Amino acid sequence: MENRILNELEKIQKEISIYERKGLDSSSLKIFIKNFKEFIKLNEDIFNELKPIPFEEKLLIIEKFLEDKKAFPTIGSVIEFANNKLDLGFKDQKESRKVTISRIIGRIKSKPELKDKLKKAVLEIRNEKVHTIKSSKTKKEVISAETFSKWADIIKNI
């Protein structure tokens, strides 16, 4: 329904473009279309939140988060996160990043309450990285803060 209305509005905007050349001010229509697109986007987010996400999909999201090299540049940083924030007690491993992440996912499968602990940890890290007051942040710190902000927004809804 919303997409049909949006298409009609954009069609009208194109049709009146000939009058813009003659002095018609259609800036209000352009702003309205932009706001309507944002409204549709926000409502899609609200409706998606109402649909329950299956546990397996939640695990896939967590796996993608742990695989993000901007958030966790090394396998050591993944292990450190698992130990310090999820209390998993992993030792330094010789296994690959993929094996380590699958072990973490396996633990979350067996103890679903770890998912909530992970959500809390991501929000804490995001707040720590975003709200630390520093006169100048390095590019790496800014990227890390942005990455955790993105993931916090995604993970808070799972």
CB contact at 8 A, 35 and 6:
no
Whether residue 49 is predicted with pLDDT greater than 70 in this model: the reply is no
State whether the Cα torsion 15-17-20-22 is positive or negative. Answer: negative
Q: What's the total number of domains in the chain?
A: 2
CB contact at 8 A, 78 and 101:
yes
Q: Choose between 157 and 155: higher pLDDT.
A: 155
**Do 46 and 61 sit in the same domain of this protein?**
no
Q: Concatenated DSSP letters for 66-96?
A: HH-TTT--SHHHHHHHHHHHH---PPP-SS-
**Do 42 and 65 sit in the same domain of this protein?**
no
**Do 107 and 88 sit in the same domain of this protein?**
yes
**Do 10 and 75 sit in the same domain of this protein?**
no
**Do 21 and 64 sit in the same domain of this protein?**
no
- Any idea what DSSP says for residue 94? S
**Do 102 and 146 sit in the same domain of this protein?**
yes
**Do 78 and 35 sit in the same domain of this protein?**
no
pLDDT digits (tens, 9 = 90+) for 50-88: 567 788 889 999 999 999 999 999 988 999 999 999 999
Mean pLDDT of 120-142: 80
**Do 37 and 89 sit in the same domain of this protein?**
no
What is the residue range of 10's domain? Answer: 2-50
Q: What pLDDT shows up at residue 102?
A: 93
Number of Cβ atoms within 10 Å of the Cβ of 40: 15
Q: What pLDDT shows up at residue 21?
A: 86
Percent of the chain with pLDDT over 90: 38
Q: Which residues contact residue 96 at a Cβ distance below 8 angstroms, ignoring those fewer than 6 apart?
A: 75
Q: What pLDDT shows up at residue 63?
A: 93
**Do 34 and 101 sit in the same domain of this protein?**
no
**Do 78 and 139 sit in the same domain of this protein?**
yes
**Do 92 and 118 sit in the same domain of this protein?**
yes
Q: Choose between 20 and 157: higher pLDDT.
A: 20
For 24, list phi and psi in degrees, rounded to 5.
-70, 130
